[in-house]
Amino acid sequence: MAMSSLLPHSSSSSASLCSIISLHLIFLAIVLNASAHVDFSISTDRDSLLSFMSGIVADPQHALEKWNSPHLHVCNWTGIMCNHVKERVVQLDLSERSLQGTISPALSNLSFLSVLDLSGNFFRGSIPPELGALSAITQLSFDSNILGGGIPAELGLLRRLVYLDLSGNRLVGEIPATLFCNSTSLQYIDLSNNSLSGEIPSSSQCKLIELRFLLLWSNHLVGQIPPSLSNSSKLEWIDLGSNFLSGTLPASIVDKIPCLQFLYLSYNNLVSHDNNTNLTPFFSSLVNASRLQEVELAGSNLGGEIPSVVGNLSSSLLQLHLGENLISGSIPPSISNLVNLTLLNLSCNLLNGSIPPTIGLMGKLERVYISNNSLSGKIPKAFGDIPHLGLLDLSKNMLTGSIPESLSNLSQLRRLLLYGNHLSGELPSSLGKCVNLEVLDLSHNRITGLIPAEVAGLRSLKLYLNLSSNILQGPLPLELSKMDMVLAIDLSSNNFSGTIPAQLGSCIALEYLDLSRNLLQGPLPNSIGNLLYLQVLDLSNNRLTGEIPGSLQASSTLQQLNFSFNNFSGFISNEGAFATLAFNSFIGNSGLCGSLSGMPSCKKKRTRGHLLLPVLLTLFGTPCCILCLFGYPLVLKSRRRRSFAPFNGFTSEDEEQGKEAKYPRISYRQLVEATGGFNGSCLIGSGRFGHVYKGILHDETRIAVKVLDSDISGKIQGSSFKRECQVLKRTRHRNLIRIITTCSRPDFKALVLPLMSNGSLENHLYPSSGSDSQLSLAQLVNICSDIAEGMAYLHHHSPIRVVHCDLKPSNVLLDDDMKALITDFGIAKLVENSGGESDAIFDSASFTSTAGLLCGSIGYIAPEYGLGRHASTKGDVYSFGVLLLEIVTGKRPTDVIFQAGSSMHEWVKSHYPHNLDPIIEQALQRAAPPLVTAYSSKAWRDVIMELIELGLICTQSSPSTRPTMIDVAHEMGRLKEYLSMGAVLAIEAGLGGTWNG
């Protein structure tokens, strides 16, 4: 190879040439000197490996235990493979071993080594440049560690290197030109998810002719995409997303890569041709890629119109993502030639004109996003001809006309989002035929008439019904009570009249109810306050009368209430659910009085009877209270003892001792005594199927008793109880709630668990007024790491694989040491432990009695569940990602859905990567300690950025692109290790030193 091929950016300066020659001469001298003193034998390999082991400071899995055996041959050591002809080490694979330490330069003496894989550990420090002497190496994998520093230029001297993965570290600096210009055998390069800067090496002499995969996403790369990539005609996968790349879309490069299958250029600063006005040249260049499957160009402010040549792209194209750009003009009818497309995303652009009716020819579409544009005209009836369509989002356009009846043909439709248009006419009753519909949002339109009974009775709605801001009228249909699994109903800003039906109390899963700004009158039914999971209730600006039911004040779940501007009357106390409310929640009700701050006091009527009342209470109330407090156990003892079989322990695999676990016998009577007869004052929360009470046993053991609700059907209650018992008895992990025992009778079922004094994670994320329970960033990272470890165990290591299905902050408890414990397995799925993501769910109850409860909680539910797919471990990964983003942003996912009209992922992604400063600043104010220096500020910012990126990766729309919980736990462990290294704390404590990132 000509020496000029080593020069970066096609430079021919003598200084650069001398620098490269000097590098080669020096390195050659090192290699020759080393080889002159080394006895190339297996003993040399042994010494090199022992030197490497000396740099390991922690080996929690004892992976290197065999390495300490003086009688064991090197080739029998863990992770070692030898060439048995020459008896030399040819492979060192210690991936995913949780090793901590540094990578020793002594590995460079393994002269026959062809595979070096240290991925998925906690190695820090820099990559030794001496590794450039491994002339036989073909695979080098250091991904998912905490390595820093730059990429050694010497790695470019590995002429046989085929596979290089340095992703997921903390590497900085520029990509060495030698790596792209000298390693001609490379087929796979992954440097993604680091902090690399500078330009992609672009010398015209850089010919990676064997390169098939190039992944550089999520770095700080600038400059243009180098034309030299056109020399890599075998490229199949290019991912340069989430950088700061600029210049024109690389049409001339793509045109020469006929094998291209996946192209990701999203979230850069690229422009289209002719000063960002012409997309035709780029799409024309893609026509040559006959195997093209996915194209993503989102979030780059690309201008121009979608050219008609888009219809000439490969018939194998599955996904086309052009969202969040400045694309204008109309949608070309030729796009319907992409007959195998499953995802079309044109959202957040400047598109106008009408939606082409030929879209119905794209018969394999599953998800269509064309929201946030300026499209006009009617919704094509042809949408009803797409049999697999599961999600249709045409929101925030200027569409007119009525909702087509043909949408009722979509048997697979799960989410229909048409909000923010100018749709008129009546709500078609035929939508009631969409028996799989889980989300229906038609808000902010001009829809008139009544809610058809067929639509109001859609039992399939599991997420939310939003018909707000229309011109709907008439009474609230009684059929709404059939939506027993819906999580949110918003009928606000309409003209509904009549009374609120008491039957709404049958919507047992309801968490969010907004009936504000209507013409509703009459009293508020007591059944609304009995909804077990209701968190948000807004009844403001109606004509409601009477007293506010006491059941609302007694609710343990309510967080936001608004009764303002009605005609309510009566006394309001500042206790229970009302304790955190401001007077504004009740303003505009002249008949209300009470002890709430700002509310007028109730006038006392001074009658003789009222004057005698305190005296009577004093005389007779005190003995009654004493009797209730101390006589209650005596009364119980005097009653006839009921015949029942208390729980006496069930068989369980004890992973540490291999013995059957023994569970104490706790009777129903003991639970009654411990909780004061399940008194409301002992109520600490509500789960999916019941209430949780705190109590103290006779031996002073503090317990939490989860009592399954007897109001739900016995079949659901029994299957949920059985499922939770199965999970808790067969799993053992430090981050899972442990079971003390159970108590089961025909009319009573309860789980007895240890009481967690620090409550749930939700209590700390959203502390009540006046509470000082805000968590620090370090605590949050530790908690998230605990959660990830527990979920990884459930998914991959427990005797029976478990899909939790309802991971959220309220289902994470914190013990005395703030260690996180996952709880509430009432709707979990048990999966055969055979190893793949397609493992069959064998829990027979999963899809029968509790089928309606599969999806979990609103805002945390994976999008594929909305397309009818079965619960999977990747759904839990999605929920964990939402939890991460919730922690960073300080926003509940439900707030984002109902205020911004998007998912948590979409909302955060709209700010990523260039507009995150406001989010990071708010997170720093909430959770970071006082920032003493610029170094510590950067450190905490890095942590928050890592959490955001991991959250976005976990919440990707496609399950196949999400990591496993093992990967997530490893990433959280790395972040935890990063914080525990002490640099941040030392700086903040004013101990001096520097922070090198």
d(CA 721, CA 708): 8
Whether 268 and 293 have beta carbons less than 8 Å apart is answered as no
3-state secondary structure of 632: helix
DSSP class per residue in 732-769 = --TTBPPP-EEEEETTEEEEEEE--TT-BHHHHHSPPT
Helix or strand run (H / E) with residue 718: helix 714-730
d(CA 949, CA 849): 38
d(CA 681, CA 554): 9
Q: Which residues contact 888 (CB under 8 A, 6 or more apart)?
A: 908, 919, 923, 944, 947, 948, 951
806 assigned to active site: yes
DSSP class per residue in 351-416 = E-S---GGGGG-TT--EEE--SS---SBPPGGGGG-TT--EEE--SS--BSPPPGGGGG-TT--EE
Return binding residues for ATP. Answer: 706
288 token code pair: 């040559």
897 token code pair: 């859905």
d(CA 516, CA 561): 11
Q: Which residues contact 709 (CB under 8 A, 6 or more apart)?
A: 532, 689, 690, 691, 717
260 token code pair: 């291209």
Q: What are phi and psi of 518, to 5 degrees?
A: -130, -160
d(CA 510, CA 462): 9
- Counting Cα atoms < 13 Å in the Cβ hemisphere of 238 gives 25
| Cα dihedral sign, 154-155-156-159 | positive
790 token code pair: 């527990």
Per the DSSP assignment, residues forming a β-bridge with 664 are none
Tell me the pairing of strands 262-264 and 237-239: parallel
| Among candidate residues 975, 985, 770, 978, the one with its CA nearest the CA of residue 888 | 975
Cis previous bond, 523, omega within 30: no
d(CA 97, CA 56): 12
Burial group, residue 259, by CB count within 10 angstroms (0-12, 13-18, 19+): middle
3-state secondary structure of 948: helix
DSSP class per residue in 439-465 = EEE--SS--EE---HHHHT-TT--SEE
Long-range CB contacts for residues 658-662, cutoff 8 Å, separation at least 24? 661/729
3-state secondary structure of 253: helix
Q: What are phi and psi of 301, to 5 degrees?
A: 55, 35
490 token code pair: 């918003």
- Angle of helix 873-889 relative to helix 893-900, nearest 10 degrees, comes to 80
Return binding residues. Answer: 706
| Among candidate residues 655, 752, 635, 761, the one with its CA nearest the CA of residue 703 | 752
Q: Which residues contact 138 (CB under 8 A, 6 or more apart)?
A: 114, 115, 160, 161, 162, 163
Catalytic residue, candidates 806, 824, 843, 967 = 806
d(CA 81, CA 94): 11
Q: Which residues contact 997 (CB under 8 A, 6 or more apart)?
A: 148, 170, 172, 195, 938, 939, 942
Q: What are phi and psi of 134, to 5 degrees?
A: -80, 80
| Among candidate residues 165, 126, 168, the one with its CA nearest the CA of residue 149 | 126
DSSP-derived letter for residue 340 is T
Q: Catalytic residue positions?
A: 806
